[in-house]
């Protein structure tokens, strides 16, 4: 049995047994597949074409508990042919699954032994690859952490180290940081392993250029290194892939948030994109109306407000005029009206339509705001103070909710 590479292991076993053979990773995504011998089914064909099978089938297979199997066994689920599943392990670590297909799910003792031996060889190979990958990833993560350091000397050294790794050519001179952050649910501990696995899955989405990642507990980021600034379609694909994998690993209600920093053309400016990306992610975390992905450059006044230290922001949010409105209007009808008014650019018709009220009613409410505050909507500074105050209150309220978790 060859241990030169995974494909050799698969091909040799397939020729020996005259059966098609495949090896998947622990999430049942294809790593290697042999030629077919007429025993394939639609699921195998889809796996070869798409490098993965349908989520419903994957869930059904994993529900059988194959991750705990120590020896080959038969997998028989709806809509697929029966299969022999040989766990691929090394040093007790599950690294994948080796598969043989049979119409009746019948395998000889010799075939079981051959599959187990091939799985053991694959396990040793994948374990060596894993060690090399982890060493390389740790080295790259260390360099990236220094690349966004506040210390200019450390950043300069990181740039030299990154160039020495020769991970990308001179033609790739557009650098963009995508921040990823978990939402906290009460006191629930973050899913550290699942979070890192999801980000790594997102990195695999970038195939034509280079993507490097850093992950730490509930925060992580990806450095996109490309010939051109990242297309919206690519960023959406990466975030959707991370979200999908994270949900599959932790539960359908879990969703990370993302922040996209500005694109820079020099490595010594990456720390700026990094800061922007995490400020944008904070906006997505604090303000659900923004959505799960916040892009720096599209956040309006929040880009300025989020740069304030938390204590300063909480203090600045205490706007006397807005507090006076709240005192007079405990049900927040006037504050909600004011928010809609500014969100619609001061357009009376669109604001009234949004609130489902008559324009005369809207005018009455705005007049009441002027009476309570002493401000005038004809005065630009008064408008700015009220509008900015509402933005500050929204962020401050979100911070207080977060701190209260």
pLDDT tens-digit map of 83-131: 999 999 999 899 999 999 988 888 999 999 999 999 999 999 999 988 8
pLDDT bin (cut points 50, 70, 90) of residue 187 is very low
Binned at pLDDT 50, 70 and 90, residue 405 comes out as very low
Q: Can you list the alpha helix ranges (DSSP code H) found in 251-374?
A: 270-286, 302-305, 310-316, 320-328, 333-343, 348-355, 359-373
Its pTM surpasses 0.85: no
Strand order in the sheet with 21-24: 30-33, 21-24, 93-101, 83-90, 73-75
What confidence tens digit (pLDDT) does each residue in 193-228 have? 888 889 999 998 998 899 999 998 789 999 999 999
- Answer whether residue 189 shows pLDDT above 60: no
Q: Higher model confidence: residue 400 or residue 230?
A: 230
The answer to whether the CB of 58 falls within 8 A of the CB of 80 is no
Distance CA 30, CA 10 (A): 12
pLDDT at 252: 64
Q: How far is CA 217 from CA 189, 346, 364, in A?
A: 9, 43, 51
* Residue 8: band (very low, low, confident or very high) from pLDDT cuts 50, 70, 90: very high
Grade residue 144 by pLDDT with cuts at 50, 70 and 90: very high
Give the pLDDT confidence score for residue 1 in this predicted structure.
42
265 DSSP 8-state letter: S
CA distance 264 to 159: 14
Per the CB < 8 A criterion, the answer to whether 96 and 26 are in contact is yes
**pLDDT confidence of residue 3:** 41
Q: What is the pLDDT of residue 186?
A: 44
pLDDT for 183: 76
Count Cβ neighbours within 10 Å for each residue of 355-379 and write b for 16 or more, e otherwise: beeeeeebeebbebbeebbebeeee
Q: Which residues pair with 89 in a beta bridge?
A: 94
Most confidently predicted of 52-56, 74-78, 97-101: 97-101
Q: What letters, b where the CB count within 10 A reaches 16 and e where it falls short, cover 142-178?
A: ebbebbbeeeeeebeebbebbeeeeebeeeeeebbbb
- pLDDT tens for 295-331 read 999 998 889 888 888 888 888 888 899 999 989 988 8
The residues that bridge with 97 in the sheet, in sequence order, are 24, 87
Beta carbons of 46 and 30 less than 8 angstroms apart: no
In this structure, the number of other CB atoms found within 10 A of the CB of residue 287 comes to 18
CB-side exposure of 206: number of CA atoms within 13 Å? 24
Which candidate, 115, 111, 124, places its Cα nearest to that of 22?
Answer: 115
Q: Which two tokens stand for residue 137?
A: 């990833």
| Percent with pLDDT over 70 in the chain | 96
Tokens encoding 91: 């040093």
Nearest-angstrom CA–CA distance, 394 and 398? 6
Write out the two tokens for 334.
């006037």
Q: If pLDDT is split at 50, 70 and 90, which confidence band does 263 have? A: very high
In the chain, helix, strand, coil percent, each to 5?
55, 15, 30
Share of the chain above pLDDT 90, in %: 60
- Count of residues for the chain? 405
Which residues lie across from 22 on neighbouring strands? 33, 99
pLDDT at 396: 87
């Amino acid at each position: 049995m060859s241990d030169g590479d995974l494909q050799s292991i698969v091909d040799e076993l397939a020729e020996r047994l005259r059966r098609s053979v495949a090896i998947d990773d622990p999430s049942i995504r294809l790593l290697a597949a042999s030629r077919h011998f007429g025993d394939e089914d639609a699921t195998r064909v889809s796996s070869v074409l798409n490098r993965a099978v349908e989520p419903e089938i994957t869930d059904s297979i994993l529900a059988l508990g194959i991750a705990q199997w120590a020896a080959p066994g038969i997998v028989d689920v709806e809509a697929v042919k029966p299969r022999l599943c040989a766990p691929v392990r090394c040093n007790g670590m599950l690294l994948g699954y080796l598969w043989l297909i049979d119409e009746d799910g019948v395998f000889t003792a010799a075939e079981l032994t051959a599959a187990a031996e091939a799985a053991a060889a694959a396990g040793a190979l994948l374990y060596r690859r894993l060690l090399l990958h982890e060493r390389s990833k740790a080295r790259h993560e260390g360099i990236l952490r220094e690349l966004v350091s506040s210390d200019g000397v450390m950043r300069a050294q990181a740039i030299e180290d990154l160039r020495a790794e020769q991970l990308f050519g001179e033609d790739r001179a557009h650098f963009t940081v995508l921040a990823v952050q978990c939402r906290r649910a009460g006191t629930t501990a973050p899913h550290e392993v699942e979070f890192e696995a999801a980000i790594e899955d997102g990195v695999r989405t970038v195939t034509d250029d280079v993507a490097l990642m850093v992950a730490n507990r509930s925060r992580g980021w990806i450095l996109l290194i490309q010939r051109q600034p990242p297309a919206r379609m690519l960023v959406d694909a990466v975030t959707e892939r991370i979200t999908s994998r994270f949900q599959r690993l932790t539960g359908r209600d879990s969703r990370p948030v993302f922040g996209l920093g500005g694109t820079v053309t020099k490595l010594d400016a990456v720390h700026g994109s990094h800061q922007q990306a995490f400020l944008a992610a904070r906006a997505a975390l604090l303000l659900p109306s923004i959505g799960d992905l916040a892009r720096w450059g599209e956040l309006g006044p929040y880009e300025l407000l989020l740069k304030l230290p938390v204590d300063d922001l909480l203090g600045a949010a205490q706007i006397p005029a807005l507090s006076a409105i709240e005192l007079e209007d405990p049900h927040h009808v006037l504050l909600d009206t004011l928010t809609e008014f500014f969100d619609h650019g001061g357009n009376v018709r669109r604001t009234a339509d949004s609130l489902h009220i008559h324009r005369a009613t809207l005018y009455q409410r705005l007049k009441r705001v002027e009476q309570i505050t002493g401000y005038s909507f004809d005065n630009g500074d008064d408008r700015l103070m009220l509008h900015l105050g509402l933005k500050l209150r929204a962020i401050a309220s979100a911070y207080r909710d977060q701190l209260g978790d």
